[in-house]
C-alpha cells in the first residue's frame, strides 16, 4: 500500500536555460520604492546582481513652482520656496530673500542676520537628522530612525516657536524676519545646543562600531572627483571627496564671515566618508549656533525700508504714511528695479542658487532655482554602475536628495 503511495522521484537536471553571460535583466526601481525617499524612478540594467547601467528618471513631483513664481508678488513667492526643499525650508527662504534684497539694494539689520544664521544652521541639523535616520534605516539600522526623529522633534518645536510652523516656516522675509523672537525662543535654542552634542556621540556609538554599517558603506559609491564636479555634484558629497568648497566660506553671505567654523572634509570619497562629513557638519553647525546665540544683537529685526517691509501694526494704526505703505505693499507688492542676480548659499545638500530676474514690476520675471538635489542625482548613474543592487540603495542614501528639491 505504502509502496504505491510513495511516488518515485527522479531528479533530472533542469535543462539549463541559456544562462549565458550576455543576458541582462532590466529592473524597475521606484517611483514608489521606499529607499528612493519620494518619487524617484531608477531603471537598473542588471547582469546578475551587478548593476550595468542605472538611469534615474525624475519629474514625478514636478509642480511648476518656477512658473507659479512668475504669477505671484515677490513676497508671495516665499511660501513657495518652503515647498521646494521641504527639509531645508529656511535655507530656501534665506536664499530667495538674499537674492531679492540684493536686487532691491537693502541692508538687513544685524539682529535679523544673526537670527537667520542661527536658524539656518538649525535647519542643517534638521535635514541631516532626517538623512541620518532614513539612510541608516535603508541599511537595516532601524533604531537610528527613532532616535533621530525623537531629537528632530525638539528642533521642530523651536521652528514652531519662532515661525508658528513646524515645517513650512516662511520665517524670513524680504528685509528681515516675519516676527521678532518669541518669548523663550532663544532659551530653547540654548537648551538644544546643550542637549545635542551628546546625542551626536550616541549616534556615532551606534554606527561607528557596527560591522554591518561599515561593510555596507566603506568603499561603496566612489566616483572620480572630477566627474563629480562636472556632473554638478556639490555639498557634503564633494567635501567627502576632498574638495573643501563650501559657499559659507568661499562666497560668504548673510554674515557668515563673522563666524568661526571649520569645513569638514574627507578624502575616501565613499558612502562612509559622506556620513562622517555630515556628522562633523552637525557639530560645526552647533558651533555657529552657539556664536550666533551668544552674540545675538539687540535692535530692529526688519530693515528700515518702508516701501519694502510691512509696517508694524502699532505704527499702521497711528501713522498715515505707514498705513499708505501697508496698503501699497499688500495690494501692489514691492516694485523691484530691473536687473538680475544669482545668489548662492550652502544648503544642507550643497549649492543652492536662486537666479532671480526682475523686469521692474512687482512680480518676478523669472525665478530659477538651482537646486542641489538635481545636480546630485545626475551622478547616480555613474555612482551605481559596477556595484551591486544593494549598493545602489547605499549610494542613493548617501546623496541625501529630496525629490521636491529635484523636480520643483
Partner 1 sequence: MISELLQENPLVTALVERFGEAIESGTLEHEQIILYITPSKIVEVCGVLRDEHSFDRASSVTALDWYPQEPRFEVVYLLHSVKANLRLRLKVRLSGEMPTVESVCSVWAGANWYEREVFDLFGVTFTNHPDLRRIMMPEEWEGHPLRKDFPIHGHKYDYGETNQ
* Contacting residues toward partner 1, per CB under 8 A: 58-59, 62, 64, 66-68, 70-71, 102-103, 226-227, 229-233, 243, 245, 250-251, 339-342, 344, 351, 353, 355, 357, 365-366, 368, 370, 374-375, 378, 407
Residue among 250 and 262 whose Cβ is closer to partner 1: 250
> Closest approach of Cβ 339 to partner 1, in Å?
6
Cβ 87 vs Cβ 48: under 8 Å: no
> Closest approach of Cβ 198 to partner 1, in Å?
36
Residue among 182 and 232 whose Cβ is closer to partner 1: 232
Other CB atoms within 10 A of residue 324 CB: 13
> Closest approach of Cβ 377 to partner 1, in Å?
8
Look at residues 255, 261, 309, 274 and name the one whose alpha carbon lies nearest to residue 379.
274
> Closest approach of Cβ 215 to partner 1, in Å?
31
> Closest approach of Cβ 202 to partner 1, in Å?
35
> Closest approach of Cβ 34 to partner 1, in Å?
23
Residue among 34 and 337 whose Cβ is closer to partner 1: 337
> Closest approach of Cβ 279 to partner 1, in Å?
24
Residue among 311 and 348 whose Cβ is closer to partner 1: 348
Residue among 92 and 217 whose Cβ is closer to partner 1: 92
> Closest approach of Cβ 105 to partner 1, in Å?
9
d(CA 289, CA 121): 7
Residue among 236 and 353 whose Cβ is closer to partner 1: 353
Packing angle between helix 142-163 and helix 110-138, nearest 10 degrees?
160
d(CA 52, CA 177): 50
> Closest approach of Cβ 58 to partner 1, in Å?
7
Residue among 129 and 243 whose Cβ is closer to partner 1: 243
Give the CA diameter of the chain. 108
Residue among 161 and 352 whose Cβ is closer to partner 1: 352
> Closest approach of Cβ 357 to partner 1, in Å?
6
Pairing of β 50-57 and β 41-47: antiparallel
Look at residues 187, 356, 345 and name the one whose alpha carbon lies nearest to residue 255.
345
Cβ 138 vs Cβ 109: under 8 Å: no
Residue among 119 and 277 whose Cβ is closer to partner 1: 277
CA distances from 401 to 40, 86, 223, 375, 390 (A): 10, 11, 17, 10, 18
Residue among 40 and 207 whose Cβ is closer to partner 1: 40
Amino acid at each position: 500500500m505504502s509502496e504505491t503511495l510513495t511516488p518515485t522521484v527522479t531528479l533530472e537536471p533542469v535543462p539549463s536555460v541559456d544562462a549565458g553571460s550576455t543576458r541582462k535583466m532590466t529592473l524597475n526601481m521606484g517611483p514608489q520604492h521606499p529607499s528612493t525617499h519620494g518619487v524617484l524612478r531608477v531603471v537598473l540594467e542588471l547582469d546578475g546582481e551587478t548593476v550595468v547601467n542605472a538611469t534615474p528618471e525624475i519629474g514625478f513631483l514636478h509642480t511648476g513652482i518656477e512658473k507659479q513664481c512668475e504669477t505671484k508678488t515677490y513676497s508671495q513667492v516665499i511660501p513657495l520656496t518652503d515647498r521646494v526643499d521641504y527639509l531645508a525650508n529656511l535655507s530656501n527662504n534665506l536664499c530667495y530673500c538674499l537674492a531679492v534684497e540684493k536686487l532691491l539694494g537693502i541692508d538687513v539689520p544685524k539682529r535679523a542676520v544673526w537670527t537667520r544664521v542661527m536658524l539656518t544652521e538649525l535647519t542643517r541639523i534638521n535635514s541631516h537628522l532626517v538623512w541620518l535616520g532614513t539612510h541608516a534605516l535603508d541599511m537595516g539600522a532601524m533604531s537610528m530612525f527613532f532616535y533621530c526623529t525623537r531629537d528632530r522633534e525638539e528642533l521642530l518645536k523651536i521652528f514652531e516657536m519662532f515661525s508658528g510652523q513646524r515645517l513650512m516656516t516662511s520665517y524670513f522675509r524680504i528685509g528681515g524676519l516675519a516676527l521678532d523672537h518669541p518669548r523663550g525662543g532663544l532659551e530653547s535654542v540654548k537648551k538644544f545646543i546643550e542637549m545635542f552634542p551628546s546625542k551626536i556621540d550616541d549616534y556615532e556609538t551606534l554606527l561607528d562600531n557596527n560591522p554591518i554599517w561599515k561593510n555596507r558603506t566603506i568603499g561603496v559609491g566612489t566616483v572620480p572627483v572630477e566627474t563629480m564636479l562636472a556632473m554638478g555634484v556639490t555639498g557634503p558629497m564633494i567635501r567627502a571627496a576632498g574638495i573643501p568648497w563650501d559657499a559659507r566660506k568661499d562666497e560668504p553671505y548673510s554674515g557668515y564671515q563673522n563666524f568661526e567654523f571649520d569645513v569638514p572634509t574627507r578624502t575616501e570619497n565613499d558612502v562612509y566618508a559622506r556620513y562622517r562629513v555630515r556628522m562633523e557638519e552637525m557639530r560645526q553647525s552647533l558651533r555657529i549656533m552657539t556664536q550666533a546665540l551668544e552674540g545675538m544683537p539687540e535692535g530692529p529685526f526688519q530693515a528700515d525700508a518702508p516701501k519694502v517691509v510691512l509696517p508694524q501694526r502699532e505704527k499702521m494704526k497711528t501713522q498715515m504714511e505707514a498705513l499708505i505703505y501697508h496698503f501699497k505693499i499688500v495690494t501692489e507688492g514691492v516694485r523691484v528695479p530691473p536687473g538680475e542676480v544669482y545668489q548662492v548659499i550652502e544648503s544642507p545638500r550643497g549649492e543652492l542658487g536662486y537666479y532671480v530676474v526682475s523686469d521692474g514690476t512687482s512680480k518676478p520675471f523669472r525665478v530659477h532655482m538651482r537646486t542641489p538635489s538635481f545636480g546630485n542625482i545626475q551622478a547616480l548613474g555613474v555612482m551605481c554602475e559596477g556595484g551591486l543592487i544593494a549598493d545602489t540603495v547605499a549610494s542613493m542614501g548617501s546623496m541625501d536628495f529630496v525629490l521636491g528639491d529635484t523636480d520643483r
